[in-house]
Amino acid sequence: MKLLLFFVLLFFNFSAIAQADTEIKLSKSIPQTRMGQWTVGDYTVLISLDTIAVMLRKEQESMINAIAYYGDQDSNLVNYYKASAKRYDIAATQLEHAKNGLDLQTLIIYQGREDSTQNRGHSRFLREQIDHFVQRGNAIVYYQGKRIFTLCRSAEPSNQGRMETPGDILNHGYEIRTFYDVPENLLFYEYYHLGW
């Protein structure tokens, strides 16, 4: 009986997952500061260069602290953090001296040892930070050349919420999309895996 109750509750738990849409209100003012731009398809996002530089300096500081902590314990971690801290320092310095309109996708920011395949820009770390700026409404966004003041963010279960087989249960997650008017024309896309 307990086993039957367990499966009934498990079924209702997974079948109750639904799509959730939220509206993101964007900044209505234009700050009087140097702005960097992040372009994805029809979207251009403008972010304060000084804000990103401060964020990168904080990340660099935490890596320097990690180097000091692991200095006598693990040379692999020290090398990992040294290479990362150096890249963050270079990127922050570039931002501090950049002119208005810098293409943020040219910055090389990643964690780990030197990797030539990642030395081409399009930083995942920076993309996530810009996504957070957009979610909090601290960004200026243009869509097809026109400034917009709202975005839609939808979260829906992958595989249409099916929980019919053990594979469905183990391999499910959420797809999160940020867009203006057409869900297929995305500014940001994320997938969160919830299965095992």
Give tens-digit pLDDT for 113-151.
888 777 777 788 889 999 999 999 889 999 999 999 999
Pairwise CA distance, residues 18 & 155, whole Å: 8
Q: For residue 95, is it within any domain?
A: yes
Q: Which amino acid is at 104?
A: L
Range(s) of the domain holding residue 142: 19-193
pLDDT of 12 higher than 50: no
Q: For residue 2, is it within any domain?
A: no
How confident is residue 161, by pLDDT bands cut at 50, 70 and 90? low
Of the listed ranges 10-14, 69-73, 78-82, 143-147, the least confidently predicted one is 10-14
Angle at which helices 49-70 and 124-135 cross, to 10° = 130
Q: Where are the alpha helices (DSSP H) in the chain?
A: 2-15, 49-70, 75-97, 124-135, 166-170
Q: For residue 13, is it within any domain?
A: no
Candidates 26, 24, 25, 7; CA nearest to 15 is: 7
Per residue in 59-76, pLDDT (tens digit) is: 999 999 999 988 888 788
> Quick one: the chain helix, strand, coil %, rounded to 5?
45, 25, 30
Candidates 127, 149, 151; CA nearest to 52 is: 127
Pairwise CA distance, residues 166 & 81, whole Å: 40
pTM for the whole thing? Answer: 0.77
Q: How many domains does the chain have?
A: 1
Q: For residue 12, is it within any domain?
A: no
Candidates 74, 27, 24; CA nearest to 177 is: 24
